[in-house]
Amino acid sequence: MIQWRPAVHADLPRILELWNEQEDRFTGTGVPVDHPELFYPVGETHHAFYPYKPPVLNVAVAEEDGVITGFRYTEAVCEVSIVTGSQQVMRSLGNELTKEAHWAKGKGFRSGWGLVPSKFIRAVAYLLRPFPHIRAWRSLTPIGINFSELGD
């Protein structure tokens, strides 16, 4: 039986072990294993999401027979939305998204994303080809929850 509970500072050594194991499993896939700083230092309780350090908002560990065998973390992610019908605006996105990424990285974010409708992906990929750091993640498939479908 799996028991989930909020993670505490004392869980960090085991969390790091699990991360290293995950990194080994992902070797050669092209998918990076992120290692965000999960916790503020012990005692810095004056932060909004203490003990978790944004962009990490929540951390929980899974225990089997009292042994931590997994964990999850919830992270705020920069999501860029673009509203335009202008081809010139689309052409300017490479530089603009790069500036946005540097701004977000300076705030502690490690990734950002946006969803592109399938019918536009080839055009967007063409316009962004000079910017190899902005790309479709072919090794990942997005999954998500539409909160509007959860009811009131």
pLDDT for 152: 63
Q: Quick one: tokens of 18?
A: 């699990």
pLDDT at 64 over 70: yes
- Which pLDDT tens digit goes with each residue over 8-44? 999 999 999 999 998 898 888 877 777 889 999 999 9
Q: Are residues 29 and 67 in the same domain?
A: yes
To the nearest whole number, what is the mean pLDDT of the chain? Answer: 86
Give the global pTM. Answer: 0.70
| Residue whose C-alpha is closest to residue 32's, from 22, 18, 40, 43 | 22
pLDDT at 108 over 90: no
Q: Are residues 103 and 65 in the same domain?
A: no
Domain residues for the domain of 20 are 2-75
Distances (CA, A) of 113 to 24, 97, 136: 25, 10, 10
Confidence of residue 134 (pLDDT cuts 50, 70, 90): confident
Cα(74)–Cα(24) distance, integer angstroms? 22
Q: Are residues 71 and 82 in the same domain?
A: no
- Which pLDDT tens digit goes with each residue over 110-122? 777 777 777 887 8
- Domain final position from 42, 75, 108: 75
Q: Are residues 8 and 60 in the same domain?
A: yes
Cα(8)–Cα(14) distance, integer angstroms? 11
Q: Are residues 70 and 83 in the same domain?
A: no
Q: Are residues 144 and 82 in the same domain?
A: yes
| Residue whose C-alpha is closest to residue 57's, from 112, 115, 3, 108 | 108
**Residue pointed to by tokens 């502690």:** 108
Q: Are residues 6 and 71 in the same domain?
A: yes
Confidence of residue 45 (pLDDT cuts 50, 70, 90): very high
Q: Are residues 18 and 54 in the same domain?
A: yes
The total domain count for the chain is 2
- Which pLDDT tens digit goes with each residue over 80-104? 878 788 889 888 988 898 898 888 8
Q: Are residues 107 and 124 in the same domain?
A: yes
Confidence of residue 141 (pLDDT cuts 50, 70, 90): confident
